[in-house]
Structure 1
Amino acid sequence: MKVVTFGELMLRLAPNGYYRFFQDDQLQATFGGGEANVAVSLANYGMDASFVTKLPTHAIGQAAVNSLRKYGVDTSKIVRGGDRVGIYFLEKGASQRGSVCIYDRAHSAIQEAAPSDFDWDAIFEGVDWFHFTGITPALGENLVEICREACKAAKAHGVKISCDLNYRGKLWTRDQARAAMTDLCQYVDVCISNEEDAKDVFGIEAENTDIYGGKLNKEGYKSVAKQLADKFGFEKVAITLRTSISASDNDWAAMLYDGENYCFSKEYHLHIVDRVGGGDSFGGGLIYALLSGKNTQDAVEFAVAASALKHSIEGDYNLVTVSEVEKLAGGDGSGRVQR
């Protein structure tokens, strides 16, 4: 099975451990980005995963490409050009102090890309699945158009499309998001959302839920999923359910609706090492599970287990195997030493 993902790959600069910005005079440099994170997950699961973006030809751009090649992601469709790699600064939170993310991505190569940069008919030759997120069209009207052309070409090639709504208030307004995503979601087969995204983008919310007070009414998400599916004709809607006890401890689960069944996963109590990329690891797990022919319940269990493991791993990328995910999904979450 061949999967293509499209978006921005950024340089991540973060203080060591749980230091605040410049409390220490060093920053750890890694790479990450929503759709790239999904591609790495899929490559680690043994799938043919290709990531599409635009990156400069200089040394930092090449380092970004190499960070994907390291894990077996196909980078041959990445367009080279532009002047800069987008950056985000991450300060990891702990206990009652939340994490902080500061973007420095204006005028990045992908943000200034043109629709003519990408030959989508060639990119989608022999492809089974296409994934993007709401972060990418949020980068500008040109990216909305590029995403639209990608979706149209994917449909013409019979490719399944998934989208993680991933609303980012620092990138665009709710009205801008609603206009763009209403257009793009007409092409989407599998929608991934969380307790905030559906409300922020489409004004759809679960009743009796307080995302900041740690109160989630799981039954209310059945209504959210059905409203999303009815509005856009999605084949499946996945909703991740995060109860944030603190920055260090979350409860994590999800629901997958297939038009008939509402399947809730088991819930995991997470003691978090790094939560960035947690949603992307869910998306990667879900795509793998669905392409592997898992039923609705097994698919959501695999995706949630994959994401639970990601919260224990430093960096954006989820560096786990299928067997590790299936072991946790099967009930072994003891964390005992493997000998």
Structure 2
Amino acid sequence: MKVITFGEIMLRLAPYGYLKFLQTDSYEATFGGGEANVAVSLANYGVDAAFVSKLPKHEIGQCAVNTLRKYGVDTSMITRGGDRVGIYYLEKGASQRASKVIYDRAGSAMQKATEDDFDWDTIFTGVDIFHFTGITPALGKELADITLTACEKAREKGIMITCDLNFRKKLWSKEEANAVMSKLCDYVDVCIANEEDAADVFDIYASNTNITSGEINHEGYIDVAKQLQARFNFSHVAITLRESISASDNRWSAMLYTKGKAYFSKKYDLRITDRVGGGDSFGGGLIYALLHKYNAQDSIEFAVAASALKHSIQGDFNLVSVEDVNTLALGDGSGRVQR
């Protein structure tokens, strides 16, 4: 079983601990990015996962490649070229203070990639699933066109396509996202979204739900999934349900809608160490479950447990095993020392 993920990996610069940007005089440097995070999750689960992107040939680009290799991700199809690695600055929130992200990615190697940088016939040899997020086509018209070409080629080869809508208002407008993602989603089999994406990208809302107060209405989300499926004929719609008590404490669950039925996971009370990559870890868990033919209820339980664990891990990557996830999914969330 082989999975291809396609997107940009960035250098993450974050103040240590929970310092604000205005307080810090040093930054912790790590790497991360939506599709790269999914690839790392899958590699940790023992899946043959390859990340496709473009990175400079210089040492910082090589550091990004080496980081992925360290976790078992196939980097052989990363194109080398361009001048810079995209950067994002992260200020982690705490209590009632929200996290903040500042992007510095304009002109990155990936943002300047062209159609000629990717040979999809070669890339898709022996592949079972192709995964991308709404972040990649948001990087510019060329990336939107490249993503569309990839989807067309994947469909031609009978490859399952999974997509996390991942709307980022700092990258494009809702109108731009709607126009581009509407074309791309015609090729998608499995759609992953959170409580805001369907509204921001497709103007589809969950009724009687207030994301800022943490009020969740299951029937409203079933209706959202039905509307998404009716419009794009998705085989699966997965929606993560985050109830934000504060930046430090969330309640976390999800729904999977398939074959006319909704499946809801158990709910986890999270004390958050680092929430960046939480949605990506959910996507990685769901893809793993689909690859291994889990039934719908077990699939959503595995994905939610995987992402619950990610919130306890510093950095973008979810560094847990299948055994770790299954232990939590089966009910052991005690956090007791494993001896």
Amino acid in the other structure paired with 2:330: G
Match of 1:133 in 2: 133
Q: Distance in 2 between matches of 1:83 and 1:20?
A: 29
150-159 or 5-14, larger mean C-alpha shift? 150-159
Q: Distance in 2 between matches of 1:304 and 1:41?
A: 13
Match of 1:232 in 2: 232
Q: Secondary structure at the match of 2:335?
A: coil
1:22 CA drift (Å):
4.4
Instruction: Please list the CA deviations of residues 149-168 of structure 1 after superposition, one character each: whole Å capped at 9, or x if unmatched.
Output: 00011111111000000000
Q: Distance in 2 between matches of 1:150 and 1:182?
A: 15
Q: Distance in 1 between matches of 2:252 and 2:218?
A: 12
Instruction: Give yes or no for the alignment of 1:164 onto 2:183.
Output: no
1:206 CA drift (Å):
0.6
Instruction: Please list the CA deviations of residues 46-94 of structure 1 after superposition, one character each: whole Å capped at 9, or x if unmatched.
Output: 0000000000000000000001000000000000000000000000000
1:23 CA drift (Å):
1.2
Contact kept in structure 2, 1:229 and 1:259, CA below 8 Å: no
TM-score w.r.t. the length of structure 1 is 0.99
Instruction: Give yes or no for the alignment of 1:152 onto 2:141.
Output: no
RMSD: 0.5
TM-score w.r.t. the length of structure 2 is 0.99
Q: Distance in 2 between matches of 1:324 and 1:9?
A: 26
Q: Secondary structure at the match of 1:187?
A: coil
Q: Distance in 2 between matches of 1:338 and 1:227?
A: 44
Q: Distance in 2 between matches of 1:70 and 1:203?
A: 40
Q: Distance in 2 between matches of 1:258 and 1:213?
A: 28
Instruction: Give yes or no for the alignment of 1:123 onto 2:99.
Output: no
Amino acid in the other structure paired with 1:160: M
5+ residue gaps, structure 2: none
Q: Distance in 1 between matches of 2:45 and 2:301?
A: 16
How do residues 293-308 of structure 1 correspond to structure 2 at under 5 angstroms?
293-308=293-308
How do residues 92-131 of structure 1 correspond to structure 2 at under 5 angstroms?
92-131=92-131
Q: Distance in 2 between matches of 1:116 and 1:42?
A: 28
Q: Distance in 2 between matches of 1:155 and 1:208?
A: 37
Instruction: Give yes or no for the alignment of 1:186 onto 2:181.
Output: no
Contact kept in structure 2, 1:15 and 1:22, CA below 8 Å: no
5+ residue gaps, structure 1: none
Contact kept in structure 2, 1:266 and 1:301, CA below 8 Å: yes
Instruction: Please list the CA deviations of residues 193-219 of structure 1 after superposition, one character each: whole Å capped at 9, or x if unmatched.
Output: 111000000000111111111111122
Match of 2:321 in 1: 321
Instruction: Give yes or no for the alignment of 1:87 onto 2:87.
Output: yes
1:24 CA drift (Å):
2.5
Q: Distance in 2 between matches of 1:153 and 1:207?
A: 37
Contact kept in structure 2, 1:253 and 1:266, CA below 8 Å: yes
Contact kept in structure 2, 1:243 and 1:251, CA below 8 Å: yes
1:259 CA drift (Å):
2.3
Match of 2:20 in 1: 20
Q: Distance in 1 between matches of 2:160 and 2:220?
A: 28
Q: Distance in 1 between matches of 2:295 and 2:180?
A: 31
Match of 1:222 in 2: 222
Match of 2:267 in 1: 267
Contact kept in structure 2, 1:226 and 1:259, CA below 8 Å: no
Q: Distance in 2 between matches of 1:278 and 1:56?
A: 27
Match of 1:173 in 2: 173
Match of 2:278 in 1: 278
Contact kept in structure 2, 1:133 and 1:164, CA below 8 Å: yes
Match of 1:258 in 2: 258
Match of 1:4 in 2: 4
1:260 CA drift (Å):
2.1
Instruction: Give yes or no for the alignment of 1:54 onto 2:60.
Output: no
Q: Distance in 1 between matches of 2:112 and 2:191?
A: 27
Q: Distance in 1 between matches of 2:213 and 2:138?
A: 28
Amino acid in the other structure paired with 2:66: N
Q: Distance in 2 between matches of 1:297 and 1:24?
A: 44
1:261 CA drift (Å):
1.6
Amino acid in the other structure paired with 2:48: D
Amino acid in the other structure paired with 1:314: Q
16-25 or 288-297, larger mean C-alpha shift? 16-25
Contact kept in structure 2, 1:125 and 1:157, CA below 8 Å: no
1:307 CA drift (Å):
0.0
Q: Distance in 1 between matches of 2:320 and 2:213?
A: 32
